[in-house]
């Protein structure tokens, strides 16, 4: 024989279903905003939007999801950082956050990048200075003079390729460290 449910039991079950449905709907809405924040990050990396527009867009998200959306956007942008856009990305992250630890991480990363880039430029100048007389002597023996040396390109030389590889290794290590520190800092902020 089936147990007959009281009106109270039936009402409580319906409230439970409504609560469950409401939680599912909120989760769906949260996911929608997080996907939009990641997409906004992609648009930023592609140059289709700027930091001001990103701030305006995410600031319009509901209060409860806004912090997660910021984190999603920042981590997506940090994923797509490259030597060509590193300055723009770091400036944007600094612009979008009030977190002093994140700002310090961005500042330190920029200084380290600048240091490695300066070393690469110094190495290029050193190699050009070192190789110019050798090349000049070779060309002179072959009968070339004057402007034949103008704009000598060291990009195909082995020493330059080693220098670029070393720069790239330092850069990749720096990015890995940057992303780890950024993620930890944002996660810590998210827990507070």
In the predicted model, what is the mean pLDDT of residues 83-92? 94
**Is the confidence at residue 11, as pLDDT, over 80?**
no
Least confident of 14-18, 50-54, 86-90: 14-18
Residue with more model confidence, 28 or 122? 122
Closest by Cα among 103, 113, 57, 33 to 81:
113
* 134-192: pLDDT as tens digits: 777 777 787 776 665 565 678 888 989 999 999 999 999 999 999 999 999 988 876 65
Domain boundaries, the chain: 1-80, 82-192
Tell me the pLDDT of the chain averaged across its residues: 85
Tokens 């195909």 belong to residue: 156
Least confident of 16-20, 40-44, 45-49, 132-136: 16-20
Confidence of residue 107 (pLDDT cuts 50, 70, 90): very high
Instruction: Tell me the C-alpha distance between 133 and 139, whole Å.
Output: 10
Instruction: Tell me the C-alpha distance between 157 and 124, whole Å.
Output: 11
pLDDT number for residue 148: 58
Instruction: Tell me the C-alpha distance between 177 and 111, whole Å.
Output: 14
pLDDT number for residue 137: 79
């Amino acid at each position: 024989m089936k147990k007959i449910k009281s009106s109270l039991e039936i009402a409580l079950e319906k409230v439970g279903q409504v609560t469950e449905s409401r939680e599912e709907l909120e989760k769906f809405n949260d996911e929608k905003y997080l996907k939009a924040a990641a997409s906004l990050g992609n648009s930023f990396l592609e140059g289709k939007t700027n930091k001001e527009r990103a701030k305006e867009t995410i600031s319009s998200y509901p209060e409860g999801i806004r912090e997660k959306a910021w984190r999603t956007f920042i981590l997506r942008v940090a994923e797509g950082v490259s030597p060509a856009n590193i300055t723009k990305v770091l400036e944007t992250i600094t612009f979008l956050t009030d977190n002093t630890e994140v700002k310090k991480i961005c500042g330190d990363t920029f200084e380290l990048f600048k240091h490695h880039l300066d070393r690469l430029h110094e190495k290029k100048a050193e190699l050009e200075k070192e190789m110019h007389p050798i090349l000049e002597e070779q060309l002179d023996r072959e009968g070339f003079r004057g402007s034949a040396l103008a704009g000598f390109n060291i990009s195909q030389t082995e020493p330059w390729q080693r220098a670029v590889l070393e720069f790239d290794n330092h850069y990749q290590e720096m990015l890995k460290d940057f992303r780890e520190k950024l993620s930890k800092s944002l996660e810590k902020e998210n827990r507070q």
